[in-house]
């Protein structure tokens, strides 16, 4: 039997794929942990994988890889798609696809399978990564190709002795380092909000809590003075903030396949980190750095969302974003409150709001009144010429 690697999550779609494909191939299941999995959950997924008939199961811990290759640059760029969504799930899929195809090559697999349907973004992200990194490996997608309904999959599994609880949860939840997506019947409409109960974290604390975030060259290196790896600091911040039910919203955007999509999400650490980092940048970068970063980061986020991670332009933009962070070092002071947070201020040796040059609107220490008048006259010169020439 020919060797096949399946991207296995343990859900209905990938379970159907594992059972059906095991009749024709030597199936090796692999899951990629980009955050959100507990040890117990991983053990449960592994146990179920073997029930589906796979030859081997492997869980790849890619949390640190996910941070270093993707999340770091999303922070550097303050990336929020449509000024709302921190790319929680789409960013994960890129790293998961890369890890899966590298694993497939390492065991000399001839085929890769995934459980995506033909209606979403993930099919594009997975296929593009697989085709680019391993064009010699054939991609198999039973759910997409057979246009299977959920009930057809359940009936097939039961007929093959897999009679597990396949009751569809009212809300689909996908947890990861950079946030949790939440989908339900409400997100299929344009007018309905998700209820509070749909979000995985509920309000536990009512009293304000002060938090100090320390950045070094754009990376979150400490929370409340305790240093750790950035991905661990993100998890720490997430645990602090989710107790306040912070970071909930609904994103509306354009999918890769050309239709509008709506999804709820809960991403407390992502939103706080991005906003805190951006505030520190406002104090430490020049206006031209901030301006050019903004549109480049928007391009970076869009390309990542649409599966274009392997295009060399992404490495070019990463180099720009990395170089922009040289002076983005300091502390940001945040207050956590029920359902929201506030940025109180920053402290940085690179703060360009330095009092020795003057105070905006109050005191000038860098130029004279006559110099100000001459500067204003020259700055306004082009406008004066235009209006005089055009008699406007």
Task: Write out the chain in H/E/C secondary structure.
Answer: CEEEEEECCCCHHHHHHHHHHCCCEEEEEEEEECCCCCHHHHHHHHHHHHHCCCCEEEEEECHHHHHHHHHHHHHHCCCCECCCECCHHHHHHHHHHHHHHHHHHHCCCCEEECCCCCCCCHHHHHHHHHHHHCCCCEEECHHHHHCCCHHHHHHHHHHCCCCCCCCCCCCEEEEECCEEEEECHHHHCCCCCCCHHHCCCCCCCCCCEEEEEEEECCEEEEECCEECCHHHHHHHHHHHHHCCCCCEEEEEEECCCCCEEEEEEECHHHHHHHHHHHHHHHHHCCHHHHHHHHHHHHHHHHHHHCCCCCCHHHHHHHHHHHHCCCCCCEEEEEEEECCEEEEEEEECCCCCCCHHHEECCCEECCCCHHHHHHHHHHHCHHHHHHHHHCCC
| CATH architecture entry for 2-159 | 3-Layer(aba) Sandwich (3.40)
pLDDT lower than 70: segments of the chain: 169, 355, 358
- CA torsion, points 304, 83, 264, 200, in degrees to nearest 10? 90
Structure confidence at residue 358 (pLDDT): 67
Tokens of residue 121, six digits:
């973004």
Q: What is the CATH number of domain 172-285+324-347?
A: 3.90.1260.10
Structure confidence at residue 132 (pLDDT): 96
Q: How far apart are CA 260 and CA 281, in angstroms?
A: 32
Cα angle at 66 between 305 and 304, to 5 degrees? 15
Q: Given CA atoms 376, 378, 383, 388 in this order, what sign does their dihedral have?
A: positive
Q: What is the pTM of this model?
A: 0.93
CA nearest neighbour of 282 among 72, 78, 70, 67:
78
CA nearest neighbour of 145 among 164, 160, 123, 172:
123
Q: How far apart are CA 238 and CA 36, in angstroms?
A: 11
Q: How far apart are CA 161 and CA 53, in angstroms?
A: 11
Kindly list the domain boundaries of the chain, sorted by start residue. 2-159, 172-285+324-347, 357-389
Q: How far apart are CA 226 and CA 223, in angstroms?
A: 5
């Amino acid at each position: 039997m020919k060797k096949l690697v399946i991207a296995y999550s343990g859900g209905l779609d990938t379970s159907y794929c594992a059972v059906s494909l095991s009749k024709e191939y030597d199936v090796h299941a692999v899951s990629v942990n980009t955050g959100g999995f507990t040890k117990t959950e991983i053990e449960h997924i592994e146990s179920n994988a073997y029930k589906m008939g796979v030859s081997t199961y492997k869980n790849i811990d890619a949390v640190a890889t996910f941070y270093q290759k993707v999340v770091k640059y999303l922070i550097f760029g303050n990336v929020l798609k449509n000024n709302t969504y921190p790319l929680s799930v789409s960013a994960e899929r890129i790293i998961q696809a890369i890890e899966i195809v590298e694993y497939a090559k390492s065991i000399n697999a001839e085929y890769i399978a995934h459980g995506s349907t033909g209606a979403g973004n993930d099919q594009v992200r997975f296929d593009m990564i697989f085709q680019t990194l391993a064009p010699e490996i054939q991609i198999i997608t039973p759910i997409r190709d057979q246009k299977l309904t959920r009930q057809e999959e359940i009936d097939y599994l039961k007929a093959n002795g897999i009679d597990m609880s396949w009751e569809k949860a009212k809300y689909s939840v996908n947890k990861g380092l950079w946030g949790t997506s939440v989908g339900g019947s409400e997100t299929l409409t344009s007018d309905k909000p998700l209820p509070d109960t749909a979000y995985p974290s509920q309000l536990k604390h009512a009293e304000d809590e002060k938090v100090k975030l320390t950045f070094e060259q754009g990376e979150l290196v400490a929370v409340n003075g305790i240093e750790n790896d950035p991905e661990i600091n993100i998890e720490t911040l997430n645990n602090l903030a989710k107790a306040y039910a912070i970071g909930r919203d609904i994103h509306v955007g354009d999918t890769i396949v050309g239709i509008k999509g709506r999804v709820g999400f809960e991403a407390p650490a992502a939103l706080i980190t991005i906003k805190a980092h951006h505030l520190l940048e406002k104090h430490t970068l020049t206006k031209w750095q901030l301006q050019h970063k903004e549109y480049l980061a928007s391009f970076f986020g869009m390309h990542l969302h649409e599966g274009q991670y392997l295009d060399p332009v992404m490495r070019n933009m990463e180099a720009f974003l990395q170089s922009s962070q040289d002076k983005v070092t300091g502390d940001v002071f945040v207050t956590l409150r029920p359902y929201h947070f506030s940025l109180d201020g920053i402290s940085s040796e690179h703060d360009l709001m330095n009092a020795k040059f003057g105070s905006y609107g109050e005191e000038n220490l860098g130029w004279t009144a006559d110099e100000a008048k001459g500067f204003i006259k020259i700055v306004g010169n082009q406008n004066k010429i235009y209006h005089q020439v055009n008699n406007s």
